[in-house]
Amino acid sequence: MYPLLKINLRVQRVAGQGDMPLPAYATEHSSGMDLAAAVQDSVTLEAGQRALIPTGFKIEIPPGFEGQIRPRSGLAVRSGISMVNTPGTIDADYRGEIKVIMINHGQEPFVINRGDRIAQLVIAPVAIATIVETETLENSSRNEGGFGHTGT
């Protein structure tokens, strides 16, 4: 058995969203919880269009952790559906409704219906950096090698 880091994640439904599923792990070893669309009416994303899709719940992430909203790979490969900001970050002090910025990178319109699984929520530990200003940085084998510096 592998050691697992387990925390309590407090979840509050948004008023009128009692029929919506709460975030849930699909399998025993899933790292992300599925998130469902809490749209009242179906939303059609035309090719290239984006929309802010509600999930119907709020969360209380413990200090020292963050929420990461990530696209679902099946939607991406089948329909070109992703997120504009991926991963989306949810800070531990945010208490508003979780919403997902969806985008259609595909060629065909894509319909989002109430209850459709649209994204994943991963809870991850956070390291807080102390900024130390300096005049120099230590050299590395990469140094200033940027985008594509190791080839294609």
Q: How many CA atoms lie within 13 A of 32 on its CB side?
A: 16
- CATH code: domain 10-125 is 2.70.40.10
Is 26:32 a contact under the CB 8 Å cutoff?
A: no
pTM of the shown model: 0.88
Model confidence pLDDT, tens digit, residues 60-105: 999 999 999 999 999 999 999 999 999 999 999 999 999 999 999 9
Give the per-residue pLDDT at 151. 67
Please report, for the chain, the start and end positions of each structural domain, with discontinuous segments joined by +.
10-125
Look at residue 28 and tell me whether its pLDDT is greater than 70. yes
By CB atoms closer than 10 A (0-12, 13-18, 19+), residue 118 is buried
* Selection from 84, 91, 82 nearest residue 118 by Cα: 82
Instruction: Give the three-state DSSP class for 31.
Output: coil
